[in-house]
Amino acid sequence: MSGRPRTTSFAESCKPVPQPSAFGSMKVSRDKDGSKVTTVVATPGQGPDRPQEVSYTDTKVIGNGSFGVVYQAKLCDSGELVAIKKVLQDKRFKVRLRHSSLLGLFTEYNALELKAFHKNSSDSLIKVFFCTSVLCSVPLFLFFSVTLYMYQLFRSLAYIHSFGICHRDIKPQNLLLDPDTAVLKLCDFGSAKQLVRGEPNVSYICSRYYRAPELIFGATDYTSSIDVWSAGCVLAELLLGQPIFPGDSGVDQLVEIIKVLGTPTREQIREMNPNYTEFKFPQIKAHPWTKVFRPRTPPEAIALCSRLLEYTPTARLTPLEACAHSFFDELRDPNVKLPNGREKPSLFNFTTQELSSNPSLASILIPAHARNQAGASTPTNASATSGQPVSDPFSAHLYILDVAHSDTLWFCVKAETELTNQKSRGLTIHQK
């Protein structure tokens, strides 16, 4: 534990409510300084479902989207910063409540710790309280940073996919990171769903720039490989400094994809959506990947992109296969540290749940030095076989901070072309 004073946890800031019937109530008051204080009766995200009273102040908008608005607020009793996502619950859809239930399922493994949720019975407004999440921009990237962040993203996807859960909204704005420790977390499970083969799903899902082509073709029986396509778009964006497929509409999005990948064949279209019958597309040749990216882009990065951004869903790498790609070999070097001199986050403490899709990759994913540190030569030690995280608070592959670290500021991964000529921490960024 660090030497800093202990902060009051979210749970300690909540006051038990004796009458559960008060659920859904909300009141507004003023503190001694005249600041607005909102008090709600909320159900804890983890542990017992006993409603608790939560009071917060200093509310400000830090993000919004089609599914709701995200606020930053401060808990009155503890001073802890929390993020509050407010969404309207449409009775026709289950997606809003699914957000809370999935995060409750992951517990230690979820991307953001679910603190509590409150449902206003009068207007169907749901407030979901999360751990500290102050979104800012990290505009400059070294290639090493790209490898580190993308590796953690793929490891996150490998884990949730092992449960059959598809995120369905992978994009830079949903990747949170600590710039000092380089720990990344996947957030916003508002669109996530446990996919069941043969069960129809909505095709109008995922933010446009990161939408897999099978979704554009109207597929409803897709797989979690749509997340892999989105992750490929994120990787390309970090390398380019701008979105690789910046379509203005659904149709234009397909045009942008065709400009790079070329016109899909009939067989590729059938693989994306067997029910699609319109095949009238202009014949355009694929653009060489080496000409898509800037000249000094590592060949391994280009090779990985080409294996992620495939028309045929089954031709894409799985997240676990992506983690084993040579693009991430530098991370497996025991002598490599972060640019600030710190040790890398825990990257190789795989559990059997994570390795379940392809156990044969363990010899690549868990390098010899990591096996030696774990006291075993194979991933059969306690952390790899029990399916439980080890004690290191950064060990969970979705990289959740425990309560003791909840005051850490998190930053949104976002590439910005206009700043690529500047210097970051004394190191020159590869220029376009």
b/e 284-303 (16+ beta carbons within 10 angstroms → b): eeeeebeebbeeebbebbbe
DSSP string of 89-124, one letter each residue: --TT--HHHHHHHHHHHHGGGSSS-EEEEEEETTTT
Residue 86 among known ligand-binding residues: yes
Instruction: Give me the residue label for tokens 């230690």.
Output: 108
> Which uninterrupted H or E stretch holds 155?
helix 143-162
DSSP β-bridge partners for residue 38: 28, 56
**Active-site annotation holds for 180:** no
Measured in whole angstroms, how far is the alpha carbon of residue 230 from the centre of its chain?
11
Q: Which residue of the set 49, 58, 77, 169 is catalytic?
A: 169
> Which uninterrupted H or E stretch holds 326?
none
Closest CA to 324 of 350, 298, 289, 344: 350
Task: Give the relative orientation of helices 225-240 and 143-162 as an angle to the nearest 10 degrees.
Answer: 170
Query: Distance between CA 347 and CA 395 in Å, rounded?
Result: 8
Contacts of 105 by beta carbon, 8 Å cutoff, 6+ apart: 163
Which residues are catalytic, by number?
169
Which residues contribute to the annotated binding site for ATP? 86
Q: Residues at the annotated binding site?
A: 86
